[in-house]
Amino acid sequence: MRVVVVGAGLAGLTAARQLADAGHQVTVFDKGRSPGGRLATRRIGTGRFDHGAQFFTVRSDRFAALVAPHIETGLVFEWCRGFSAEADGYPRYAVRGGMNAWAKVLARGLDVRCSSLVFAIRRGSAASGAAWDVALDDGSSVAADALVVTCPLPQSYSLLVSAEVTLPEELLRTEYDRTVALLLSLDRSPAVAEPGGLNNPTDRLSFVADNQRKGISDAPALTVHANAAWSEEHWDDAPAVAIEALLTAAGEYIGDALVLEAQLKKWRFATPRTLWPEPCWTAANTTGPLVLAGDAFAGPRIEGAVLSGLAAAAALLG
Ligand SMILES: Cc1cc2nc3c(=O)[nH]c(=O)nc-3n(C[C@H](O)[C@H](O)[C@H](O)COP(=O)(O)OP(=O)(O)OC[C@H]3O[C@@H](n4cnc5c(N)ncnc54)[C@H](O)[C@@H]3O)c2cc1C
């Protein structure tokens, strides 16, 4: 089959790898400049920041088996066993070089086309002889026998409007929490004690991370995540206003350090609020298969995205 995967986040890359290994001709499109989606790492000077997902846990045997080879090569390492008073003994893993490095490894050997925004998905015409036509924003289109769509759900629906696919109401109603992230390049280490991360440190913040202490940055680099309530309320604030407010909110963790540079990053679709009960969703009555996958299906975290990608591939492979 010619399979098009929309989205080179963990769900899309995982599905693509399985399908390519099974001998299918797979093309992955992502609107971002590099693969990874919410597995995101940014450089500011010599500082390196994870600014989407900060760490991951491993709860299922299936995911453990996929992660094990990466622990073996040293790509994935155990960051800690919990944060401050919440330490519960379960490993929290991080990725050498930042979370995004994992996506780059997964993308190796796959046909992943970044900076390629999928604009619409349509039923294939008789002329194309394919079940689907995937329209890109550069005006070109690609024929596919099968599709895996892994964007956050509101983005997936808008692609499917012209595909005459009826989605269940519950899927259509899925909403996402937002996250406003502040990345701070500092002149010295921030005041975040071992292991360098804190969950819900204040009533406005959901996480702070000292990327240097975590082991991914050569220079002092602090990631500050505002929680869902603050992010929603301040979403439309001017960047300078949001930065100022978050600098105040994170003051005790910045400590005596001088802020050399501050960058804001907004995640509109950070975390799905509700989950679909199955690890993916397959459209009925279409000429060729169409599967929706992503973290809204198998859990709002890295493991969920991977398990959903596996389920999507399995749904296509039968
Ligand atoms: C701030 C933040 C903190 C988080 N912290 C953690 C954590 O500590 N631990 C944890 O386990 N999880 C965490 N998560 C959640 C985790 O990052 C996600 O569950 C997981 O990465 C989702 O993967 P995905 O493949 O389902 O979606 P995504 O990674 O969102 O991938 C979807 C991809 O689709 C692409 N796309 C969308 N529309 C189009 C289009 N029209 N054309 C082409 N491409 C398109 C996007 O560019 C994106 O790359 C966090 C998320 C955020 C945002």
Atom of ligand 1 nearest to the CA of 54: 8
Residue 3 near residue 26 (C-beta atoms within 8 A): yes
Residues with CB under 6 Å of ligand 1 are 6-12, 29-32, 37-39, 52-56, 117-118, 150-152, 155, 159, 179, 181, 225, 267, 270, 294-295, 300-302, 304-305
**In the chain, pLDDT over 90 holds for what percent of residues?**
93
Question: How many angstroms separate the Cα of 242 from the Cα of each of 245, 247, 288?
Answer: 5, 8, 46
Name the residue at shortest CA distance from atom 44 of ligand 1.
30
Q: What is the pTM of this model?
A: 0.97
Backbone angles phi, psi at 291, to 5 degrees: -125, 135
Band of residue 298 on the pLDDT scale cut at 50, 70, 90: very high
Domain spans of the chain, in order of start: 2-39+98-174+276-317, 176-272
- 116's tokens: 């390629």
Q: Taking residues 10-27, report their average pLDDT.
A: 98
Give the chain's end-to-end CA distance (angstroms, integer).
Answer: 13
How far is the C-alpha of 29 from the C-alpha of 79, rounded, in Å? 31
Closest atom of ligand 1 relative to the 294 alpha carbon: 26
Tell me if 214 sits within 8 A of 195, measured CB to CB. yes
Q: Residues 252-271: pLDDT tens digits?
A: 999 999 999 999 999 999 99
Q: Please answer whether residues 1 and 316 qualify as being in contact, where contact means their C-beta atoms are separated by less than 8 angstroms.
A: yes
Taking only the tens place, the pLDDT of each residue in 195-228 is 999 999 999 999 999 999 999 999 999 999 999 9
Q: How confident is the model over 49-106, as pLDDT tens digits?
A: 999 999 999 999 999 999 999 999 999 999 999 987 666 789 999 999 999 999 999 9
Query: Phi, psi (5° rounding) for residue 260?
Result: -85, -35
CA of 304, closest atom in ligand 1: 19
Distance CA 76, CA 98 (A): 10
Question: At residue 286, does pLDDT exceed 90?
Answer: no
Residue pair 192/207 in contact (Cβ under 8 Å)? The answer is no
DSSP codes of every residue in 189-222: --S--TTSEEES-SSSEEEEEEHHHHTS-SS-EE
Determine the Cα–Cα distance for residues 228 and 205; give it in Å rounded to an integer: 9
Residue 86's pLDDT is what? 61
DSSP-derived letter for residue 99 is: T
Q: What CATH homologous superfamily does 2-39+98-174+276-317 map to?
A: FAD/NAD(P)-binding domain (3.50.50.60)
Identify residue 95 by its one-letter amino acid code. V
Question: Looking at the predicted structure, is the pLDDT value of residue 240 above 90?
Answer: yes
Distance of alpha carbon 13 from alpha carbon 26, whole angstroms: 10
Q: Which residue has the tokens 């989407």?
A: 52
Atom of ligand 1 nearest to the CA of 296: 26
Q: Are 9 and 137 in contact (CB under 8 A)?
A: no
Q: What number is the average pLDDT over the span 135-161?
A: 96
For range 229-255, the mean pLDDT: 98
Cα Rg of the chain (Å, integer) = 20
Q: Tell me the two tokens of residue 163.
A: 């595909």
Atom of ligand 1 nearest to the CA of 155: 38
The first and second tokens of residue 285, run together, are: 């009555």
**Distance (Å, rounded) from C-alpha 265 to C-alpha 198?**
19
187 CA to centre of ligand 1 in angstroms: 30
171 pLDDT exceeds 80?
yes
Looking at ligand 1, which residue's alpha carbon is closest to its atom 10?
301
**Domain 176-272: which topology?**
Polyamine Oxidase; Chain A, domain 2 (3.90.660)
How far, in Å, is the centroid of ligand 1 from the Cα of 129? 33
Task: Please give the Cα distance from 16 to 310 (Å, whole number).
Answer: 9
To test the pocket of ligand 1, the residue of 110, 177, 301, 308 to mutate (highest count of ligand atoms within 8 Å of its CB) is: 301
Distance CA 4, CA 140 (A): 14
pLDDT of residue 125: 82
Q: 113: closest CA among 1, 35, 11?
A: 35
Q: What is the average pLDDT value for the chain, to the nearest integer? A: 96
Cα–Cα distance between 7 and 91 in angstroms, integer?
A: 28
